[in-house]
Amino acid sequence: MSEHYFSKNPKSESNPFQFQTTLKSHSLTFQTDDGVFSKKQIDYGTQVLLESFEEPKRDGELLDVGCGYGPIGITLAKECPNRTIHLVDVNERAILLAQKNINQNRVENASAYLSDGLAQVKSSELAAIITNPPFRAGKQVVHQIIDDSYRALGESGELWVVVQKKQGAPSLRTKMESLFNHVEVVKRDKGYFVLKSNKLTS
């Protein structure tokens, strides 16, 4: 079986790369490597998601699921300095890079740790979960992230997801609607959809 960025322990030889970019007006430097998602630049879906995201009104921590080397979570930490940001990924190399990038970009309110989906996430009162899910891992993996996100969010917590139409946007939208009872299409851009659901339990 070929190796993917969602492999737990990439066996590809290390081939480090570094680049600078600007996300939401923050100048950031990222160390990347083979065996992680979008090694040489920020992928367009992540850019669209970050440009669309608005800080939730409720208090609480934020979670970046499938963080890779950390662009979403680190940007959110810069945008929301008074919140704690969790970055999780199943990929051990990605987590090592994410923590290096947290330190390199002088972020003090974020931490990166290994987790298969949300398995190691203890909070059930998160204010928002933001994810560019690992669609190549399969529909079941992505839908499990949606299920677990619903449980981990607090009242009025928000789930933000970016998906391409060809990756199954209609199916993912239906899945989110089945749990949250509503889905807002926040943005459409070049085949990408940013979907948002609120957890309203009352």
CA angle 180, 132, 118 (to 5 degrees): 65
pLDDT score recorded for residue 202: 65
Q: How many domains does the chain have?
A: 1
Q: What is the predicted pLDDT for the residue at 136?
A: 86
CA 182, 172, 116: angle at the middle one, nearest 5? 110
Residue 141 lies in a domain: yes
List Cβ neighbours of 17 (8 Å cut-off, separation of 6 or more): 31, 32, 33, 39, 40
In a domain, 115, yes or no: yes
Residues 6+ apart with CB under 8 A from 102: 70, 73, 74, 77, 87, 110, 111, 112
pLDDT per residue over 73-116, tens digit each? 999 999 999 999 999 999 999 999 999 999 999 999 999 999 99
Quick one: pLDDT at residue 196?
98
State how far Cα 161 lies from the chain centre.
8
Mean pLDDT of the chain: 93
Grouping H, G, I as helix, E, B as strand and the rest as coil, residue 184 is strand
Token pair 């949250």: residue: 180
Whether 159 is covered by a domain: the verdict is yes
Q: What is the DSSP secondary-structure string of 36-56? A: SSSSSS--HHHHHHHHH----
44 in a domain, yes or no?
Answer: yes
Q: Is residue 3 part of a domain?
A: no
Asked if residue 153 has pLDDT above 80, the reply is: yes
Q: Is residue 5 a part of any domain in this protein?
A: no
Task: Convert the pLDDT of each residue in 21-52 to its tens digit.
Answer: 999 999 999 999 998 988 899 999 999 999 99
Q: What is the CATH number of the domain that holds 194?
A: 3.40.50.150
Domain that holds residue 117: 17-198
Pairing state between β 17-23 and 26-32:
antiparallel
Domain annotation covers residue 186? yes
Kindly report the pTM of this predicted structure.
0.93
Judge whether residue 3 has pLDDT over 50: no
Please, are residues 27 and 73 in contact by the beta-carbon 8 Å criterion? no
The answer to whether residue 9 sits within a structural domain is: no
